[in-house]
Amino acid sequence: MLRPALLAVAMLTVLGGLAACQRKAPTPAPAPPPTPAASTGETADQFIARVNQEVRQHYPELNSAQWLSNTDINSDSELIAAKANERWLAHLAVWLAEAKRFEGQPMAPQTARALKLLTLWTAMPAPQDPKQREELTQIASRMEGMYGAGRVCNSEGRHKTCRDIGQLGDVLAKNRDYDAQLQAWTGWHSISIPMRKDYTRFVTLVNIGARQLGYADTGELWRAGYDMPPPELAKQSDRLWNQVKPLYEQLHCYARGKLDAQYGKDKGELPGGLLPAHLLGNLWQQDWSNLWDLLAPYPAAVNLDISGTLQQRAQAELLYAQVRKQDDTIGTAAARAFNIERAAQLASAKLMTRDAESFYVSLGFPKLPGSYWQKSQFIRPLDRDVMCHASAWDMNMQGDLRTKMCITPSEEDYTTIYHELGHLYYDMAYNPLPPLFQNGAQDGFHEAIGDTIVLAMTPHYLASVGLLQEAPQNSQSQINAQMRMALSKVAFLPFGLMIDRWRWGVFDGSIKPADYNKAWWALKAQYQGVAPVTARGEDYFDAGAKYHVPANTPYTRYFLANILQFQFYKALCDASGYKGRLSECSFYGSKAAGDKYWAMLRKGNSQPWQQTLQELTGSDHMDAAPLLEYFAPLHTWLKQQNAGLQCGWITGSTPNPDRN
């Protein structure tokens, strides 16, 4: 997953992180033989052609090592992944050194673009010193491994019981007991305590690498990947946030009232009007969909929850599997029952994925290759630790495409599958390009492809695939449908921004290691209006409890994607000939929309994203207007509900440890 292009999700991770390894190799492995120095007289065009060819040659090895370490976390796979990353970064170092020869020389614009993209290839810029590079890849592996293998154990009584991220997340999703949620939330935030020292060193090492590439720090390198000067990205994201903030504040205000009603005002909110971090249905408060039971505007109007139907389908799979295998006599009855259950879980996960594939195919996109169904990880294996955080992988730039998930029959996983396939279809579309152009037009585009399809999964579409009952459209069902989408898309916006506001500060030194946690919670309060209910001092490292921090995956991409996807959606609705209220459009089955989308995907990163956006939407800049148009009815409704309430929150209030 190294290559940005390839990287659907995991890609940049590659560039960045690896699996974990608990100990250092006794002797450093010899550096790989460097790519032979370019022969004198090699032109810039020839150089880029050679790099593209060498990337094709070396990249699959890195991906294979990363795949193994992500799907079987142990000290061996971590070591192999760290070494593969080290080798890859050594190649990159050679290419970058060679590229310097062409600075200031005349060359074709596409060659100049490719050279620029080469310096931006990695989110984890490695120092030139091989010892430091080795240390960096080991730390990266170790942090990812700690996250992937994270478990919270309770050894009270005679039996030790442990819960993984899925089980802890489930408590927040489904259990409305205040203390049970707090325990699950606090438990998960203990897994990152041991990462703090590693992360501090990691920051020092990547900053050395970034400076050697000519950037002030790693944050500046991350902000440089947007076809505009790095400070412009910060400005543009502020502008977009200011566009959507009033809508978020209304949602926050409405949620606070409902939490107060559920838990009482003394527990439903914190001083200053902040929302308690453990009560939002999600370990990071980034998606509030799980609070549907508390926040549904018109609970009696229409059932929009597809998780129930997905669970029924999974049960039906179990029955089929039992019937199919009823003549089996191998093994004990218990073993047979176990195998049948696992087979049913796998079948159910694959069926959910087939639904997602069908949407893309309805647009005229190709089917996923047969190998995808053989090689992907669909459900959590029980015999080993794996990284369950969903990711999409382009293993070799020529058709070996995979997803890695731990799918359960839930709405959250269902929409995540659509998201992941967006990455794979982007990969497929741009695979014919030279490797250096095989990436999103910018990283927000990569993240927005599948989410655009999720916007088109209207209640009508869900009814057409049998997941909901067709219901009459009226103002109540419309507000319900908008609320469901808002709990995922609007609630996410400030979270999408604050993670990298924290990391930019960490990388540029304005946030010192001694203040990591203080700064994290200050930003959570400022942007999201959430706070922990118990003091979270510097003994903790709460940022590390979010996958993208130990995995070093930049996060602003998701904020941008949440804006861009509404722009894409509107353009595709227009292309499909839809006329009507934006939020009720589904372009399912529209070849015209599909052609327009594919035309964008196949451009990859071969031209500035502004041009690519212009070709799809007619506008060359990111704009939250389509998002606001989509949610206009809900925005008006929320303002009515909140009339007379004091919305907003005051930051800086210290958590009250007596509250729990």
Q: Which residues bind Zn ion (CB under 5 A)?
A: 9, 447
One residue of 558, 598, 630, 631 binding ligand X8Z per CB under 6 A: 558
Residue 390, contacted partner among Zn ion, ligand X8Z, none, CB below 5-8 A by kind: ligand X8Z
Residue 416, contacted partner among Zn ion, ligand X8Z, none, CB below 5-8 A by kind: ligand X8Z
Number of residues that bind ligand X8Z (CB under 6 A): 7
Query: What is the per-residue burial (b if ≥16 Cβ within 10 Å, else e) of 173-205?
Result: beeeebeebbbbbbbbbebbeebbebbbebbeb
Least distance CB 556 / ligand X8Z (angstroms): 11
Q: Which of 58, 70, 626 is nearest to 376 (CA)?
A: 70
Least distance CB 576 / ligand X8Z (angstroms): 25
| C-beta of 363 vs 390, nearer to ligand X8Z | 390
Q: Which of 126, 3, 39, 5 is nearest to 433 (CA)?
A: 5
One residue of 9, 171, 549, 613 binding ligand X8Z per CB under 6 A: 9
Residue 270: what are its φ and ψ, rounded to 5°? Answer: -110, 165
Binding status of residue 70 toward ligand X8Z by CB under 6 A: no
| C-beta of 9 vs 647, nearer to Zn ion | 9
Instruction: Check: CB of residue 44 under 8 Å from CB of residue 102.
Output: yes
Residue 388, contacted partner among ligand X8Z, Zn ion, none, CB below 5-8 A by kind: none
| C-beta of 142 vs 389, nearer to ligand X8Z | 389
Residue 558, contacted partner among ligand X8Z, Zn ion, none, CB below 5-8 A by kind: ligand X8Z
Binding status of residue 365 toward ligand X8Z by CB under 6 A: no
Least distance CB 553 / ligand X8Z (angstroms): 7
Sequence letter at residue 225: G
Residue 224: what are its φ and ψ, rounded to 5°? Answer: -80, -5
The site map against ligand X8Z for 408-427 (x = CB under 6 A) is --------x--x--------
CA distance 550 to 542: 11
CA distance 275 to 252: 8
Residues 230-289, interacting with ligand X8Z (CB under 6 A):
286
CA distance 55 to 91: 9
Residue 404: what are its φ and ψ, rounded to 5°? Answer: -130, 110
Sequence letter at residue 517: N
Least distance CB 325 / ligand X8Z (angstroms): 33
Binding status of residue 390 toward ligand X8Z by CB under 6 A: yes
Least distance CB 423 / Zn ion (angstroms): 6
Sequence letter at residue 294: L
| C-beta of 452 vs 590, nearer to ligand X8Z | 452
Least distance CB 9 / Zn ion (angstroms): 4
Instruction: Check: CB of residue 227 under 8 Å from CB of residue 608.
Output: yes
CA distance 317 to 309: 12
Instruction: Check: CB of residue 612 under 8 Å from CB of residue 600.
Output: yes
Instruction: Check: CB of residue 409 under 8 Å from CB of residue 309.
Output: no
Least distance CB 174 / ligand X8Z (angstroms): 19
- Which residues of this protein are in contact with ligand X8Z, per CB under 6 A? 9, 286, 390-391, 416, 419, 558
